[in-house]
């Protein structure tokens, strides 16, 4: 059954998901932040900065009016950077009705409150069902219909299944998961680990080092997630290890690329200028550092990334500090079964 859907945000991910929805015969409207951006997409038939070479069908409507974008839509998909989430949801709230499903596809944390993005949205739209879509999914590949699999999470089983049906396509498979905390944390914190993976690449280290980083990085994400109430099995799934693998290894990853530039000797500001798109891992690193302090969880990789980004600590010294830490068991002692 065809739905009326609004996608808030005309960046690469918002556009890619709009194309999936259009392929599924839904009526799609995209909200653009700037009039210039909207006009450029209409004129060029594509977003040359964010998703070059991907044509946007003419029957997808573009607007800069929030009221026009969300009014009378069955589903509102939010693809807005975390730093601007609350402000834009506050602006949307005047026009949102309680029966509209809100789908967040952005990844990150709100630094001032340490809220996950679904919590930010729920605090402004307390009467709406919030669904989160996450997983190993680069916009550049989804827009070219390269087979991709994601998961959707919500407190509402009915809302999750509706969103699952909304997006399911022969190249875009969607699973459901009730663990909203785990799905969001996996999707957010992997960007910090991906930045570190890029830094290792930039410094010339090899596959051994990157494999260790990813494995121990997942351990840290899981450790924090469980402390916050997530199901540890979520981190073995699409929004955990799946998203971590693709973001740490793919040339499409802006977080990995920014880290690579820093590893090569660029300052953070120079790296962000060269990427020229939002690098969520930088913002999330601040929130992750505060969360591990709040929940008293050991996260040495997060510590190292935070010091590199915000305390001018050299990346090579940060790596060395990880390698010379005190000896540890790989798993918790109570999980081990020594013979003697």
Query: Catalytic site residues?
Result: 190
Secondary structure percentages of the chain, helix, strand, coil, to 5 = 55, 15, 35
Q: What is the dihedral of CA 178, 113, 30, 244, to 10 degrees?
A: -60
* Locus of tokens 């830094």: 199
Closest CA to 135 of 102, 175, 167: 175
What is the token pair recorded at 56? 């946007």
Burial class (CB within 10 angstroms; exposed 0-12, middle 13-18, buried 19+) of 74: middle
Give 239's DSSP letter.
I
* Three-state DSSP state, 134: strand
d(CA 165, CA 168) in angstroms, rounded, equals 5
Query: DSSP states of 182-215 as a string?
Result: HHHHHHHHHHHHHHHHHHHHHTT--HHHHHHHHH
* Strand order across the 27-31 sheet: 61-63, 27-31, 4-8, 75-78, 101-104, 130-134, 148-154, 172-177
């Amino acid at each position: 059954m065809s739905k009326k859907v609004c996608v808030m945000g005309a960046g690469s991910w918002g556009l890619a998901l709009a194309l999936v929805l259009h392929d599924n015969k839904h009526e799609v409207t995209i909200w653009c932040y700037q009039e210039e951006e909207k006009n450029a997409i209409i004129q060029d038939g594509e977003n040359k900065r964010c998703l070059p070479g991907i044509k946007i069908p003419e029957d997808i409507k573009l607007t800069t009016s929030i009221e026009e974008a969300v009014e009378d839509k069955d589903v509102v998909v939010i693809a807005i950077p975390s730093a601007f989430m609350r402000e834009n949801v506050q602006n949307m709230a005047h026009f949102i009705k309680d029966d509209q499903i809100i789908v967040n596809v952005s990844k990150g944390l709100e630094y001032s409150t340490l809220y996950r993005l679904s919590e930010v949205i729920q605090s402004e739209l307390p009467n709406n069902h919030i669904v989160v879509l996450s997983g190993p999914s680069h916009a550049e590949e989804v827009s070219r219909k390269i087979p991709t699999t994601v998961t959707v999470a919500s407190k509402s089983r009915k809302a999750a299944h509706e969103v699952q049906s909304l997006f399911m396509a022969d190249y875009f498979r969607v699973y459901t998961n009730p663990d909203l905390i785990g799905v969001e944390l996996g999707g957010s914190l992997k960007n910090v680990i991906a930045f570190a993976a890029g830094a290792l690449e930039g410094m010339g280290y090899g596959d051994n080092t990157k494999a260790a980083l990813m494995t121990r990085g997942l351990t840290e994400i899981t450790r924090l997630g469980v402390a916050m109430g997530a199901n540890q099995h979520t981190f073995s799934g699409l929004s955990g290890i799946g998203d971590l693998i693709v973001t740490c290894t793919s040339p499409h990853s802006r977080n990995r690329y920014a880290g690579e530039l820093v590893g090569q000797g660029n300052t953070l500001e120079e790296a962000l200028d060269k990427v020229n798109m939002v690098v969520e891992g930088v913002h999330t690193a601040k929130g992750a550092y505060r969360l591990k302090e709040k929940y008293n969880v050991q996260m040495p990789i997060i510590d190292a990334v935070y010091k590199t980004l915000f305390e001018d600590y050299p990346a090579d010294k940060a790596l060395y500090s990880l390698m010379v830490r005190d000896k540890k068991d790989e798993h918790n002692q109570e999980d081990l079964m020594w013979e003697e």
